[in-house]
Every structure is written in structure tokens, then in C-alpha cells.
């Protein structure tokens, strides 16, 4: 005898917009945060009058957009003769001015927010002096300008930036192996807020919003959101703090709200702790799943006054001796490179899209780690690392030198602001707690632990000075240029190491680290060739060309890039090294295949595999060195599948031909992950003219002079005066940088060079507004979820379920779903009244749900009636646990649906069974328990669609005999587009 369950879905069969009535949350607030990067005027150097003077004028100043450098500069830093103390280069003051109309209510609080500026900043608003920021150039700050602005009118903002040498602002006053470029080089925002609002993250060690995960397993995670609210109103205010955890489909999965009252001028620290215990998605480099935390301040009427969003990546890092670094319980070797933030010509004034481009290139190389040297980096880079799955270590702004107490106090403050600003990024593994080269600085370690006890600290040491162990920090992080050794109780991270341009030395040190779990990872110095006043390059003394670099200064890949890709990625690849990675009697080929075939002018040279030696024994893919004296002609490398038959990748390289033409390409990594390039007036595009022979083979030499022309709404960065256009460069590529305009356009770039055929390429730019609305639409879905546990008045309630206790017969109630929506639910039997019961002793997940329930023993139906449901598609889970020890009597259930072609049920469902079983020490059941400790895992799953009438019914019946019909409870969930895709 079989039990039949069928739907009586009281809906029409018309096609519906099944998501049309999912509750949408209000995410916009009366507070505004506006990017004001456009429309600035700029003056380089001193001025005659102060901004507060009646004679002050910005007439004739240059029109600029941000990010902005003190001055565009050549690849050789204008041939500066400065040494590493940087006495003169960009050592000047500069002024920026902008007018804007500020709208708001009379009680609005108005703040000007800066992500960073070089390096001391003074502000005037409407000619009135507001204040000064002198902590440093690399951390965020803001000014309260509420008392200086005229709301509803045009206001004038004037900034003085002072980048002159200053022994009281770190890292300045000493020497550095990087350049302190001047300028307003990061984003600027105008904040117009309600007097009741969240404080800025960097204000203090309690301010802003701090998201942490105190407990993480592979199945569940606890999430704590600490937020600080200030009442800048003149009267006490009553308010609510609301926290949402939102998944990648913008669906609310957790919510928490608390009520508060705050006196005028006071602050309140609010903690919300909740968790994710179903369908948990962990963050890792291979699967960088990001939830979001949306925090809101609401007034008494429920209106959103202030809303902020932070990323939430659920992950757990652990340092375990002899196991290494564990991520989510599994060993991970972190392999990557150091990064400086600057680019040619523009210095540190790097727009957000180029920060993301750098992160994309790291990811495409297969690296999973970036060390941010030697200062806090831009928010946009951290955001990209979160989204792409790159692990980050970050440090305060230093390089060898130490200053007086004011300098040290500012360094500590910069470290604290760095942590407060970036603590919510799951990509961050830990914080540097030392001064580069010197090792641990105790006050930095203690500050880091006070600000963020959830992350590790690192000592930033060297082998030639200072402590040779982790000290009081959590991790011995050292420059491994001389064969670093660890103490017996230390794990070791090579925060810097060298290599060789041909990649062989790089392969050797990576192999050594991969062979020892206590050497948890390493970061090459450096990712890119970078600018410095330590004279290293013969042609461009102020450009440091690093042997271990994977890219040149213009982000063109070097041989090391392709070896990393072969070692660290799985997509089939093969690449013949360019001239920098070749040898006179050998051809070097990078591949992640086990075997290649090399052809010269289409004639086989042979098939080859990597030679395994002691120095590369721990690598996945040592490079293959083919004995062949290549003087001219075309080499072709074919990579074979492990079956030795199928070709999975191919690469060609030509030598000895004459240059014939130019091929123009835009950097395709910029759009590889679907990130649109928009006409925002700030973004910069990289493009290249490749010098080739007639067949398209690269001429791997220094380029001739190449001149670029641009059509469309944009501008080439730099000109002849700094060697930017026309340009000459290396390894067959001439680079160019293009700043986009503010209109949707098609950019057409053409390259010319004497004696060569010109080339061109085009790229479409979207309007900034349409891209913003597409990527950042403020839309949170809050679908209905209703959990119900049935039983009699003595039932044991299941946590987080509505407890429906009744004694006998039919019953009906109006229940409130998790999102606050009312739903009417009724239960009915047929000729006999329903029997409501309780029992005890069924172990397992959701055990209190399945031990109680409703019975109909005469084979008559139990029917669930729903009404007042919002129109849409639903998933219904129903639990049917029989209080029987006779599993053979429980036949598979047969589900049928009627009256709706949209209704579906899982077929061949077998109810779970068992009662009053003994509990073993392990918490399971003894032999013969019927599997009841697995009872909650057995549910019947149904989906159906509800029309505008808002009604649906589910009927459960045993049409033959008197077999028991039982219902323990249900979970009704309204579906969203992402959820339907997952079914």
C-alpha cells in the first residue's frame, strides 16, 4: 500500500512573473555619499595669497579630474638626480579647488572624505579655514564642514597639499626605495548625512562598522557586526539599528534589529551577532564567495537615515606548526608577489580601474597572494582582491627609518587607520607589525591586536639585521635573499625574495617553499618594475628593473609571469619564452602539460618533458629546456594532453625577420571578468602597439619611435615632453595610456612609425550612469520564509520554528513570516479529526521538529491551506517522520499534483521512522534504530506557483487501507531568480 500526496493548488495556469511580488527592501537613505572626482582646478606651486584672503583667485588654473598627480613625469622621473632621500622630486605644495552646490536639510551634517592625499592637507571652505590632516599620505581622513557650508548654494572647497620633506610624517624624513609622488591621488567624497548616523570607520577603535566571524566551520559560521552610531542632533533621538546579511543574489538570509535611544552628542556601540548555518558558502582563492552586510540606521517611523554595505567572506585562517597555513581547515601555500601602487607617468594617481587591472593580472598568473608594499593601498585594490580571491598582507607606511615620538605616534595612528579601513575585507590575512628591514615594533603589534584581534601580525624582518624569529608577533615574515632559516617553533613567510629574469632561480626558491609546510609561502620582489631613486637601470636610472618581476612598469608580462601561470593554473597553456628567458643552446618553454612537441619552421625538433632535479622536485611544472640552437625562423610549441595524443595548447614565436607593421591592442584583462570600462572621466586604459613582421610575429627588440593618435572622447596621458607620445619601449611593445572622458564613445587608437604599416583598434565605452545602475542597483530581495513545527500542547519546540500547538481537530492561524509578511495557514482533516501528539527521544538535527506532529490514522487526508501569499514561485519542504520501529512498513511515497502544471514534488520519497531510541556515546542511534537520527534530513520537496489570488493547498492522503498519514512541520520559502536557477 502506498501513500499518495498531491497538490490542490488553487491557481490559474497563466504564465506569471513569478518574482514580481518578492518583498524588496528600502536600501536608499536620506544620507548621500557622492564621488566628487570631476570638476577640480589645479595650481602647482606656491600662491601669493591665502584662500581666506579677499585677493584669492583660481582664475587660469588647470582643469583636472581625480585621481591627480602633482605632475605627469617621464619613465625616468624627469631625469631627476635625487638619491633615495628624495630631496627635490615633487617636493612642493599644490592647490586644488572645486565649487559645488550642496543640498540638504538645515540639520544635515556635511563631511568631506578623502581616501588619501600626499601628504599634509589643509582645507578651506568658502574662504574659511577648516583644519589640517598630517597623519600621512596613505590612510583615509575627513573634515566636518557642516558649519562652513551654505546649503542649497554654491560652495567653494580649496585644498593645499604639502609634499615637501617632513621629518614628522611617516614614512618621510628618511630614505625610501619608493617615490613619494605628490598630488590629490585618491578618490574624494562629499557626505551629507542625517545627524543620526554611523561614524566613520577610522575615527577611533570603536568607530564605524566592524564585521567579524568569531567561529567558522565548513558547515556554519557565527557573524558579529559591531557598529557605532552618533547623535549629532540637538535633542535625544530614538532609532533602530538594522543588520542584514545578503547572499550573492541580493537575497536577505539573516536579519537583526534593535531599538535604541541616544542623547544629543552621544555615541552608541551596537553589536549584532547571528550566523549562517544552512548552505554556507566559504571564501577562498578558488571560490571567493562574498556575502554582504548591509547596516542601517532607521528613525522611529522606519525611514532609513543612513545605510552602509560591507563585504563578508566567510573563511578561517590558522597557523599550525608542521601543517603550515590552513584556510578553512585545509593547507594552502600562499605564492605571489609584492606590489607598489604606482604606474608610469601618473605616479600614485591610479584610478580604480587600474587597481582592479593589477589584481586581475595577479589572478590570471595563478598567484593567490599580494603583499602591499610598503604602505596601505587603495580601497579599490582590496575590493578587487576580495572579489577575485587574492590573499593580502598589508603594512603601515615605513622603510627602514624611524623618527621622533611624534613621527612614531603618527605611524601608529596610520597603522590603526589602515586596519580600521580594511578590517572588513576577507582577503586580508594579516598586518605588518614592524618597520620594513628592522623587524618588530612592539607598539605596532599591540596596536594591531587592539584594533583587530581576529588577524595575525607579522614582524617584517631581515636576515642581516634585527631579530631572527617572530618575536611577539604571530608570524616570522622575513626577506629571504640569503636562505632564510626558521626557529623550531616558528612558521616562516618570505615577504620578499628575488629570482632571475629567465625564471630558473624563481623556480628553485618556490620549490623549496612548497616542499616544507612550515614555510607557508613567499612573495617575490617585485610584481612590477617600479620607480625608485636607487639607481639600478642603465638606460633609465630611476626605474628599478627587478629580476623576479612578472611584469614591466607598463604591466606587460615577463617570462616569470608565464612560469607562474604554468605552475599555478590548470587551464592548458604553453608559452615559448621571449628573449629574456632564452639561452644560446636551449629553448625554454613554459607549460602545465606533462609533454610538449617543438617544431622549427613546421619541422619536428622532438617531444620533451621537464627534467626533474633536486632544485625543482616540489614543483608541478618546471620549465622545459629544449636543446636547440635557435637563430632564426619560427618555433611552434604544442602542449599535449596526458593521453599523449590530443593537443591542448599551442604557441609560436619568430626570430630573425624584419619589422613590417604595427598591431594595436587594448589591454583585454580590463574587461575579462565582465567589469565594464565606463566613461567616468577618471579611468585610464592601457593599450599597446606591437611591432611585428609581415606575418604578425613579434619583433622582440627595442621599438622604434611610435606615435599614437586617438579619436573619440578621451585623451592620451602625457606627450612628447615626458616621452609618452611618441614613445619608444622594450621587447617589441610601445605602450600608451588613455584617460577616458565623460561621454559614451568609441575610442579608435592608431599607431604610426616611420617605415612600418600603421595599425589601429577600437574600444567602446559605456556611459558612466548606465554602468553604475547595472552593477550597483540598490536592490535587496527579502523573500518570505515561514517555518512551522506541529504538535500538541506538550510538544518540544524546535528553535527558530513557529510552534503550532493544538490538541485535536482542525485549526487555522495567521502567522508572520521571517520578513514580516502575514500568511494565513489552515489545517484540516477529512471525516475524522486530526490527532496532535508529542513524544521524546528522537536524536539528530531538527529532532524536536520530527518527534512531534499531526496524525490521521484512518488513511484520510491532511490538508494544508495557504492564503494571503504574495504572487510568485515557492518551495515547500514537509517533514513526515513515523513513530515506528518497522522500517519495512514505510513504503515510498508517491507524489502527484493536480490543478497546476507548475506544481512539482520529489518522487519516490520514503518517510523517516523510529522512536525512543537509545543514544550512543557518539550521539547516534544503536543498531535497529531505523535511522531516526537522520530524520530531519528526510523531507519532501515541492515547488508551485501562486497567482494574484494568493492561495495554495497541499493535501496528503493514503488512498488505500488505514496507513498512517503524518506531518511534523514545514518550511515555506518564496523563491528568487537565483534560487530557481539552483534547483
Does the pLDDT of residue 12 top 80, yes or no?
Answer: no
The enclosing H or E element of 827 equals: strand 822-828
DSSP annotation of 375: S
Residue pLDDT, tens place only, 584-603 = 999 999 999 999 999 999 99
* Dihedral class, residue 800 (left if φ above 0, else alpha if ψ from -120 to 50, else beta): left
Residue pLDDT, tens place only, 327-336 = 999 999 999 9
CA distance 568 to 883: 54
Instruction: Compute the mean pLDDT over every residue in the chain, rounded to the nearest whole number.
Output: 91
Residue pLDDT, tens place only, 737-759 = 999 999 999 999 999 999 999 99
What confidence score (pLDDT) does residue 895 get? 62
CA distance 868 to 864: 14
CA distance 582 to 403: 46
* Residue 662 near residue 758, CB atoms below 8 Å: yes
Does the pLDDT of residue 552 top 80, yes or no?
Answer: yes
**What is the pLDDT confidence band of residue 26, given thresholds at 50, 70 and 90?**
confident
SS3 of residue 432 by DSSP: strand
**What is the pLDDT confidence band of residue 940, given thresholds at 50, 70 and 90?**
confident
What confidence score (pLDDT) does residue 947 get? 87
* Residue 347 near residue 73, CB atoms below 8 Å: yes
Alpha-carbon separation of residue 843 from 270, 787, 792, 848, 938 (angstroms)? 37, 20, 19, 8, 14
SS3 of residue 14 by DSSP: coil
Cis peptide before 374 (omega within 30 of 0): yes
Q: Which three cell numbers stand for residue 85?
A: 632621500
Question: If you classify domain 333-569 with CATH, what class do you get?
Answer: alpha beta
Does the pLDDT of residue 548 top 90, yes or no?
Answer: yes
CA distance 621 to 568: 8
Cis peptide before 726 (omega within 30 of 0): yes
* Residue 118 near residue 106, CB atoms below 8 Å: no
**What is the pLDDT confidence band of residue 778, given thresholds at 50, 70 and 90?**
low
Alpha-carbon separation of residue 851 from 513, 918, 963 (angstroms)? 54, 14, 18
* Domains 201-315 and 661-775 agree in fold: yes
What architecture does CATH give domain 661-775?
Answer: Sandwich (2.60)
* Residue 228 near residue 208, CB atoms below 8 Å: yes
What confidence score (pLDDT) does residue 922 get? 33
32-193: CATH topology is: Jelly Rolls (2.60.120)
Percent of the chain whose pLDDT exceeds 70: 90
Angle between helices 504-514 and 559-568 (to 10 degrees): 30
Give the closest residue to 31 by CA, choosing from 134, 109, 145.
109
Give Cα 220 distance to the centre of its chain: 21
Could you write out the DSSP letters of every residue in 40-51?
Answer: EEEEES--SS-T
* Dihedral class, residue 653 (left if φ above 0, else alpha if ψ from -120 to 50, else beta): beta
Does the pLDDT of residue 293 top 90, yes or no?
Answer: yes
Residue pLDDT, tens place only, 235-245 = 999 999 999 99
* Residue 47 near residue 95, CB atoms below 8 Å: yes
Give the closest residue to 211 by CA, choosing from 271, 252, 132, 127.
271
Q: In this structure, what are the phi and psi dihedrals at residue 432, rounded to the nearest 5 degrees? A: -70, 130
CA distance 186 to 118: 9
SS3 of residue 685 by DSSP: strand
CA distance 900 to 7: 8
State the Cα torsion 200-205-209-212 to the nearest 10°. 160
CA distance 221 to 462: 37
Give the closest residue to 550 by CA, choosing from 521, 594, 590, 597.
590
What confidence score (pLDDT) does residue 881 get? 86
CA distance 980 to 791: 31
DSSP annotation of 21: T
What confidence score (pLDDT) does residue 15 get? 28
The CATH number of the domain covering residues in 201-315: 2.60.40.10
Residue pLDDT, tens place only, 56-82 = 999 999 999 999 999 999 999 999 999
Q: Which of 56-70, 203-217, 921-935 has the lowest mean pLDDT?
A: 921-935
Give the closest residue to 126 by CA, choosing from 105, 152, 154.
154
Does the pLDDT of residue 674 top 70, yes or no?
Answer: no
- For the chain, the domains span 4-22+783-982, 32-193, 201-315, 333-569, 661-775
pTM reported for the whole predicted model? 0.94
**What is the pLDDT confidence band of residue 643, given thresholds at 50, 70 and 90?**
very high
Could you write out the DSSP letters of every residue in 906-961?
Answer: -SSB--EE--SPPBPTTSSB-TTSTTGGGGGG-EEEEEEEE-TT--EEEEEE--ST
Q: Which three cell numbers stand for residue 378?
A: 587603495
What confidence score (pLDDT) does residue 2 get? 36
What confidence score (pLDDT) does residue 890 get? 66
SS3 of residue 616 by DSSP: helix
SS3 of residue 697 by DSSP: coil
Number of H helices, E strands in the chain: 9, 67
- The separation between the first and the last C-alpha atoms of the chain, rounded to the nearest angstrom, is 31
Rounded to a whole number of angstroms, the CA Rg of the chain reads 33
**What is the pLDDT confidence band of residue 53, given thresholds at 50, 70 and 90?**
very high
**What is the pLDDT confidence band of residue 983, given thresholds at 50, 70 and 90?**
very low
Residue 40, strand partner residues = 64
Q: In this structure, what are the phi and psi dihedrals at residue 747, rounded to the nearest 5 degrees? A: -90, 130
DSSP annotation of 727: B
SS3 of residue 878 by DSSP: strand
Q: Which three cell numbers stand for residue 738?
A: 588613455
CA distance 520 to 505: 19
* Residue 713 near residue 740, CB atoms below 8 Å: yes
Buried b / exposed e along 382-394 (16+ C-beta atoms within 10 A): bbbbbbbbbbbbb
Buried b / exposed e along 449-464 (16+ C-beta atoms within 10 A): bebbebbbbbbbbbee
Q: Which three cell numbers stand for residue 474?
A: 604571530
What confidence score (pLDDT) does residue 959 get? 59
The enclosing H or E element of 643 equals: none
Q: Which three cell numbers stand for residue 882?
A: 513515523
CA distance 94 to 184: 9
Beta strands in 126-251 (DSSP E): 128-133, 141-144, 154-162, 188-193, 196-198, 209-216, 221-231, 237-246
Give the closest residue to 740 by CA, choosing from 761, 720, 768.
768
Percent of the chain whose pLDDT exceeds 90: 81
**What is the pLDDT confidence band of residue 322, given thresholds at 50, 70 and 90?**
very high
Does the pLDDT of residue 880 top 60, yes or no?
Answer: yes
* Residue 285 near residue 368, CB atoms below 8 Å: yes
Residue pLDDT, tens place only, 466-509 = 899 999 999 999 999 999 999 999 999 999 999 999 999 999 99
Tell me the pairing of strands 684-692 and 661-666: antiparallel
Residue pLDDT, tens place only, 424-440 = 999 999 999 998 888 89
* Dihedral class, residue 503 (left if φ above 0, else alpha if ψ from -120 to 50, else beta): left
Residue pLDDT, tens place only, 260-292 = 999 999 999 999 999 999 999 999 999 999 999
Does the pLDDT of residue 894 top 90, yes or no?
Answer: no
CA distance 347 to 78: 12
Mean pLDDT of 912-928: 47
Residue pLDDT, tens place only, 366-400 = 999 999 999 999 999 999 999 999 999 999 999 99
Amino acid at each position: 500500500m502506498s501513500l499518495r500526496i498531491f497538490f490542490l493548488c488553487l491557481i490559474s495556469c497563466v504564465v506569471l512573473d513569478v518574482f514580481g511580488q518578492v518583498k524588496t527592501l528600502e536600501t536608499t537613505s536620506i544620507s548621500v555619499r557622492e564621488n566628487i572626482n570631476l570638476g577640480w582646478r589645479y595650481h602647482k606651486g606656491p600662491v601669493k595669497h591665502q584662500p581666506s584672503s579677499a585677493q584669492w583667485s583660481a582664475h587660469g588654473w588647470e582643469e583636472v579630474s581625480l585621481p591627480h598627480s602633482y605632475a605627469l613625469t617621464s619613465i625616468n622621473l624627469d631625469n631627476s638626480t635625487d638619491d633615495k632621500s628624495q630631496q627635490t622630486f615633487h617636493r612642493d605644495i599644490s592647490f586644488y579647488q572645486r565649487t559645488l552646490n550642496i543640498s540638504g536639510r538645515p540639520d544635515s551634517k556635511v563631511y568631506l572624505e578623502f581616501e588619501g592625499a600626499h601628504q599634509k592637507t589643509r582645507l578651506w571652505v568658502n574662504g574659511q579655514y577648516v583644519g589640517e590632516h598630517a597623519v600621512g599620505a596613505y590612510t583615509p581622513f575627513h573634515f566636518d564642514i557642516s558649519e562652513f557650508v551654505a546649503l542649497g548654494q554654491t560652495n567653494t572647497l580649496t585644498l593645499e597639499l604639502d609634499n615637501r620633506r617632513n621629518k614628522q610624517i611617516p614614512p618621510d624624513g628618511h630614505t625610501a626605495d619608493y617615490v613619494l609622488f605628490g598630488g590629490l591621488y585618491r578618490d574624494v567624497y562629499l557626505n551629507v548625512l542625517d545627524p543620526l548616523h554611523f561614524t566613520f570607520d577610522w575615527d577611533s577603535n570603536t568607530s564605524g562598522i566592524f564585521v567579524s566571524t568569531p567561529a567558522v566551520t565548513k558547515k556554519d559560521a557565527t557573524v558579529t557586526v559591531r557598529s557605532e552610531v552618533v547623535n549629532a542632533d540637538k535633542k535625544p533621538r530614538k532609532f533602530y539599528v538594522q543588520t542584514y546579511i545578503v547572499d550573492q543574489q541580493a537575497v536577505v538570509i539573516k536579519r537583526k534589529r534593535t531599538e535604541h535611544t541616544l542623547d544629543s552628542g552621544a555615541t552608541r556601540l551596537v553589536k549584532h551577532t547571528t550566523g549562517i548555518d544552512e548552505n554556507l558558502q566559504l571564501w577562498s582563492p578558488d571560490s571567493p564567495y562574498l556575502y554582504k552586510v548591509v547596516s542601517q540606521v532607521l528613525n522611529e517611523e522606519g525611514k532609513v537615515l543612513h545605510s552602509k554595505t560591507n563585504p563578508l567572506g566567510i573563511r578561517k585562517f590558522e597557523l599550525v606548526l608542521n601543517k603550515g597555513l590552513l584556510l578553512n581547515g585545509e593547507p594552502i601555500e600562499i605564492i605571489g608577489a609584492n606590489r607598489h601602487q604606482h604606474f608610469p607617468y601618473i605616479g600614485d594617481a591610479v584610478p580604480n580601474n587600474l587597481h582592479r587591472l593589477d589584481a586581475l593580472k595577479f589572478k590570471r598568473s595563478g598567484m593567490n597572494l599580494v603583499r602591499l608594499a610598503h604602505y596601505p593601498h587603495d580601497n579599490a585594490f582590496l575590493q578587487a582582491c576580495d572579489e577575485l580571491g587574492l590573499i593580502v598582507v598589508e603594512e603601515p607606511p615605513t622603510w627602514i627609518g624611524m623618527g621622533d615620538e611624534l613621527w612614531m605616534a603618527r605611524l601608529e595612528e596610520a597603522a590603526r587607520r589602515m586596519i580600521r579601513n580594511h578590517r572588513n575585507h576577507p582577503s586580508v590575512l594579516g598586518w605588518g607589525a614592524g618597520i620594513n628591514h628592522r623587524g618588530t615594533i612592539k607598539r605596532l603589534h599591540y596596536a594591531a591586536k587592539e584594533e583587530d584581534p581576529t588577524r595575525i601580525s607579522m614582524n617584517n624582518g631581515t636576515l642581516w639585521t634585527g631579530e631572527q624569529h617572530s618575536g611577539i608577533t604571530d608570524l616570522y615574515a622575513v626577506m629571504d635573499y640569503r636562505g632564510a632559516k626558521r626557529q623550531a617553533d616558528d612558521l616562516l613567510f618570505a615577504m620578499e625574495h628575488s629570482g632571475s629574469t629567465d625564471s630558473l632561480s624563481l623556480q628553485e626558491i618556490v620549490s623549496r617553499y612548497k616542499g616544507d609546510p612550515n614555510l607557508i609561502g613567499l612573495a617575490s620582489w617585485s610584481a612590477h618594475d617600479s620607480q625608485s631613486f636607487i639607481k639600478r637601470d642603465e638606460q633609465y636610472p630611476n626605474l628599478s628593473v627587478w629580476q623576479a618581476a612578472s611584469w614591466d612598469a607598463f604591466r606587460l608580462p615577463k617570462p616569470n609571469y608565464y612560469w607562474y601561470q604554468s605552475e599555478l593554473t590548470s587551464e592548458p597553456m604553453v608559452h615559448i619564452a621571449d628573449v629574456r628567458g632564452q639561452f644560446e643552446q636551449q629553448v625554454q618553454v613554459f607549460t602545465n602539460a606533462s609533454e610538449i612537441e617543438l617544431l622549427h619552421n613546421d619541422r619536428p625538433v622532438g617531444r620533451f618533458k621537464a627534467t626533474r632535479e633536486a632544485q625543482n622536485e616540489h614543483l608541478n611544472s618546471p620549465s622545459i629546456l629544449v636543446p636547440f640552437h635557435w637563430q632564426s625562423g619560427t618555433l611552434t610549441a604544442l602542449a599535449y594532453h596526458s593521453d599523449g595524443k590530443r593537443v591542448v595548447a599551442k604557441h609560436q614565436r619568430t626570430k630573425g625577420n624584419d619589422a613590417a607593421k604595427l598591431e594595436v591592442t587594448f589591454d583585454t584583462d580590463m574587461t575579462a571578468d565582465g567589469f565594464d570600462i565606463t566613461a567616468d572621466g577618471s579611468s585610464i586604459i592601457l593599450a599597446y602597439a606591437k611591432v611585428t613582421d609581415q606575418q604578425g610575429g613579434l619583433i622582440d627588440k627595442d621599438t622604434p619611435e611610435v606615435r599614437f593618435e586617438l579619436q573619440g572622447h578621451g585623451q592620451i596621458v602625457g606627450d612628447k615632453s615626458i616621452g609618452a607620445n611618441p614613445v619608444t619601449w622594450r621587447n617589441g611593445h610601445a605602450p600608451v595610456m588613455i584617460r577616458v572622458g565623460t561621454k559614451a564613445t568609441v575610442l579608435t587608437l592608431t599607431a604610426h612609425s616611420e617605415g612600418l604599416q600603421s595599425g589601429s583598434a577600437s574600444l567602446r565605452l559605456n556611459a558612466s550612469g548606465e554602468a553604475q545602475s547595472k552593477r550597483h542597483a540598490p536592490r535587496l530581495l527579502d523573500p518570505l520564509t515561514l517555518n512551522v513545527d506541529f504538535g500538541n500542547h506538550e510538544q518540544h519546540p524546535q528553535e527558530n520554528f513557529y510552534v503550532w500547538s493544538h490538541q485535536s481537530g482542525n485549526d487555522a492561524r495567521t502567522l508572520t513570516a521571517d520578513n514580516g509578511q502575514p500568511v494565513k495557514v489552515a489545517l484540516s482533516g477529512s471525516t475524522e479529526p486530526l490527532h496532535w501528539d508529542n513524544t521524546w527521544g528522537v536524536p539528530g538535527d531538527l529532532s524536536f521538529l520530527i518527534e512531534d506532529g499531526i496524525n490521521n490514522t484512518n488513511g484520510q487526508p491532511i490538508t494544508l491551506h495557504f492564503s494571503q501569499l504574495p504572487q510568485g514561485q515557492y518551495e515547500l519542504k514537509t517533514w513526515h517522520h513515523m513513530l515506528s520501529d518497522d522500517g519495512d512498513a514505510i513504503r515510498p511515497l508517491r507524489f502527484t499534483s493536480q490543478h497546476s502544471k507548475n506544481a512539482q514534488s520529489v518522487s519516490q520519497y520514503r518517510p523517516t521512522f523510529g522512536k525512543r531510541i537509545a543514544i550512543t556515546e557518539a550521539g547516534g542511534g544503536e543498531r535497529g534504530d531505523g535511522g531516526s537520527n537522520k530524520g530531519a534530513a528526510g523531507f519532501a520537496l515541492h515547488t508551485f506557483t501562486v497567482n494574484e489570488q494568493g492561495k495554495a493547498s497541499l493535501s496528503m492522503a493514503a488512498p488505500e487501507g488505514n496507513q498512517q498519514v503524518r506531518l511534523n512541520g514545514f518550511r515555506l520559502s518564496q523563491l528568487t531568480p537565483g534560487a530557481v536557477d539552483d534547483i
